[in-house]
Amino acid sequence: MEKRRIISVNVINEHGVLSRISGLFAGRGYNIESLTVAPIPDTDLSRVTIVTDGDERVLEQIVKQLHKLIPVLSVVENDDFLEREMALVKIPIEENLADIEVLSRAYNGHIVNANEKYVIVAVTDKPYRISSFIKAIKKFNPKEIARSGVVALERY
C-alpha cells in the first residue's frame, strides 16, 4: 500500500551527501516528492527533509540504508511531524490587490514586494493548503510561482 512519508535526516555538511541520499531512492525507482536541505545553525550539520510515498516495506529498506551512509548522523521517520511549506507568487499589478491580499491572509501570507509591474505574495502553511492557495490564486493570472518544499520537525 502506498503511503506518504516524511523522512528527516541529519548529515555532516559535506559534498556528495545529497547525491548519495537521492541515489538510494533512484536506485529503487522511488520518486522524491519534496527535498529540502538547509544547514543547522551553529553546527557543521545539515537537515535533509524528504517527502515521498511508496510501499511500506521498500521505504523501510531505504531508511535502513540511510542509517548506513557514513555522513548520516540520524534518521527520523514517523507520523508525528509538524510540517510547513512556502510559496512565492508573482502577480501582475493590474489585478485587484485588495482581493489578492485577502486571499493571501487566508493562507498565512501577505504581499511582500511590489513594483510598477508586479506584486509578490508569500504564503506559508501546510502543504495541502499551499496546493489549495495555488489553485485559488490562478484567477489572478500569476506570472510565476515558486514552491519551497516541506520543512518538518518532530513534535516530541
Q: What is the mean pLDDT of the chain?
A: 93
Query: Is the confidence at residue 146, as pLDDT, over 90?
Result: yes
Percent of the chain's residues with pLDDT above 90: 74
The alpha carbon torsion through 66, 70, 71, 72 (nearest 10 deg) reads 30
What SS3 state is found at 109? strand
Question: Per-residue pLDDT tens for 50-101?
Answer: 999 888 888 888 888 899 888 999 999 888 899 999 999 999 999 999 999 9
Is residue 121 within 8 A of residue 110, CB to CB? The reply is yes
